[in-house]
Structure 1
Amino acid sequence: MRYIMVGAGAVGGAIGGRLAEAGLEVVLVARGAQYEAVRTGGLRLVTPDGPRTHPLPVVDRPEALDLTPDDVLVLAVKTQDSVAALDAWSSRPVAGGGTAGELLPLICAQNGVESERLALRRFRHVYGMCVWLPATFVRPGEVFAAGTPLTGILHLGRYPAGTDATAGRIAADLEKAKLLAPVVPDVMRWKYGKLLSNLANSIEAVTGPLAGNHAALDLFERALAEGRAVLAAAGIDAVGREEQEQARGGRMRIEPFDGSPRGASSSWQSLSRGTGTIEADYLNGEIVLLGREHGVPTPVNDVLRRTANAFARERREPGSMPAAALTALVDAAS
């Protein structure tokens, strides 16, 4: 199998780099400064066992790559960029006949739960991946991944449910690459569980680290309470903290890097890079959507969604709003 990482940031770069180290064929898909940095200098992956530079092939558009029946597409862009990527890749021809959307497996290695639905409109063989992989991408050409001895734990399964031999082969490749990949028939349970924890992303992006910040932690608990109420009203099952800890506990520890960019959520990293967009519509916004569908008020998550979007749109500094000020916005809307 050849792995085509559609998105070469924190997740795509870390998975792609580790797969390459294990001797597997990898192509990165990047754009802008990241494309130029990898094209000219390779991908520098820094992990607790040392930095390595991988001179990987990189393309900036689907037309620059000839697809084969042995390819696996790994979608690792932010959800707000999914439609453009899915449209661009699904219609691409595959050697021997047919298109990527008809023939190739596509893995949604992303936060949130929307991309799988978007993908299934365009791809026949869609897989969800619940990504637990602490990684940082804030400088072109360089990704930091702080997990050890495993770099990440990636629950994998077919969407909407089930498993198959392809998932097993992909998992076996990932596990050669310091990436534990349990194949599960209910991968969306894992992704909804991760969604609840990701409700903190907007708070951290706007106010800074949650640790020791009691006002920010209180906001997270309020957002989490709304999320749980919404999922219950919708009849959606999500893996709880205890089950997550049992599956992951003891298998990976985090070792920060001296002098490296501080570890932070993907939303904080988006603000740090000044991308102009953030995934809040598909994290807190998912809770808002379900709340509106099922008659559950979600004022906390709606304010978090709107505030994070404003920060991204206005390219404001991450962590520059005091948690008390964000709490005041939430209280005024509740």
Structure 2
Amino acid sequence: MYKIAIAGTGAMGGRVGIQMAQAGYDVTLVDEWAEHIECINKEGMSVQTETSTYQYDIKARYPEQVTDTYDLIIVLTKAMDSETMIKKLNIAHAIKEDTAILTMMNGLGHDERFANIVPKSQIFLAVTMWTAGLKGPGQLLLEGTGTIELQRSDGHEDQRTIEINNVFNEAKLNSKISDDVFQSIWSKATLNSVLNPLCTILDKTINQFSQYPNTRQMIEPVIEEIVAVAKARGLELDFETLVNKIEAAYPIEAQGLHYPSMHQDLYKGRLTEIDYLNGQIVKYGKKVGIPTPNNEMLMHMIHQLELKAES
């Protein structure tokens, strides 16, 4: 049987894992959040949808408890924890020569970091528009619909690509194989690099942020830098399309009522993923000789707020 590990089982990891298990796959949730793992093993995952609430039994393990090898490992930890998680699973021999390592994490550069641990031919990138929530340890909230787009990180399509896409679709996750997943990854990263830090710094929901009449003057310099860096790296992004995508998130009926995930992390006293968004743009900019002062300032401001949250 096709064996799958979900490495990082927060909200999105929970959704993907539960839906794959419900499709009949052998799924193990892997995480280091003790209360979450113990709750799932004792009572199962509590799943709330728009129409029902139920308990679902599924395996949950700490990384050091993993003894199986897997055909597919989906990495959905926080970005800063992902390499440590893969190294622990590698030490546990959970990764074999043909294991596919797929990430749907937010941010940029994950393929480059993972390539220091496993061959690039084993790394798959995906971007998702699904959402999910956690009400507490072992309490998963599933609402709405979404999509997944995936591709092997080196651009080649192999049998594993087709198998992974089939697994996602059998799990009703609306997946497709992409011709250029980097376009979608950078597009989503641009949205997150604009709304996440700005709403976090200003302590506003997305809709509250949009009420200021000069928001375009705030977001456009950040986007211009990202477009320039992407172009220098051989990727063409359309500036107006990115602006429109961000502005489409403003209405209440879209994402307007929400605080971005970075805001939630900061105000819960956790480190944010700023280094994998604006911070990664700054790194790329320095490599290709493109100044990124706006992205760099946002990065520094979030790090200042992290210091305050830790104190």
Is the CA contact (8 Å cut-off) linking 2:206 and 2:259 kept in structure 1? no
Aligned partner of 2:236 in structure 1 is 237
Q: 1:92: Cα distance to partner? A: 2.9
- Contact 2:227–2:238 (CA under 8 A) maintained in structure 1: no
Partner of 1:41: 43
Equivalent position of 2:140 in the other structure = 143
The match for 1:93 is 93
Output the CA distance in 2 between the equivalents of 1:217 and 1:11.
31
Percent of residue pairs identical: 23
CA distance in 1 between counterparts of 2:113 and 2:229 reads: 22
From the superposition, tell whether residues 42 and 315 of structure 1 become closer, same or farther in structure 2 (CA, over 3 Å). Answer: farther
Q: Are positions 1:114 and 2:114 aligned together?
A: no
TM-superposition CA deviations, 1:70-102 (whole Å, max 9, x none): 5311111121112211211223325xxxxx153
Contact 2:165 2:177 in 1 (8 A): yes
Partner of 1:10: 11
Q: TM-score, normalised by structure 2?
A: 0.83
TM-score (norm 1): 0.78
SS of 2:225's partner is helix
| Distance in 2, Cα, partners of 1:220 & 1:91 | 43
Whole-angstrom distance in 1 between the partners of 2:96 and 2:307:
32
| SS across alignment from 1:182 | strand
Structure 1 CA distance for aligned equivalents of residues 169 and 276 of structure 2 = 29
Q: CA RMSD in A?
A: 2.8
Structure 2, unmatched stretches of 5+, are: 246-252
Letter in 2 for 1:112: G
How far did residue 40 of structure 1 move? 2.9
Instruction: Letter of the 2:75 partner, please give it.
Output: L
The 8 Å contact of residues 205 and 258 in structure 2, kept in 1 or not, is answered as no
CA 1:286/1:101 → structure 2, altered by over 3 Å: closer, same or farther? farther
Q: Call closer, same or farther: CA 1:29–1:118 in 2, change over 3 Å.
A: same
Which of 206, 212, 219 is the matching residue for 1:210? 206
Instruction: Give the 5 Å matches for 1:4-83.
Output: 4-32=5-33, 33-61=35-63, 63-68=64-69, 70-83=70-83
Aligned to 2:266: 271
Q: Are 1:280 and 2:271 counterparts?
A: no
- Report the 3-state secondary structure (helix = DSSP H, G, I; strand = E; otherwise coil) of the residue aligned with 1:84: helix
Residues 1:160 and 2:189 are matched in the alignment? no
Which residue, out of 175, 178, 181, partners 1:181?
175
DSSP-derived class of the 1:133 partner: coil
Which sits farther off after the overlay, 193-202 or 277-286? Answer: 193-202
Structure 2 Cα separation of the partners of residues 49 and 130 of structure 1: 27
Give 1:28 deviation, angstroms: 0.7
For 1:85, give the aligned amino acid: M
Instruction: Assess if the C-alpha contact under 8 Å between 1:101 and 1:123 holds in 2.
Output: no
After superposition, the C-alpha distances for 1:237-292 in whole angstroms (9 at most, x for unaligned) are 3488869x99xxxxxxx899xxxxx74433233224332x1100010111111222
Q: Which structure 2 residues correspond to residues 275-314 of structure 1 after superposition, within 5 A?
A: 275=270, 277-314=271-308
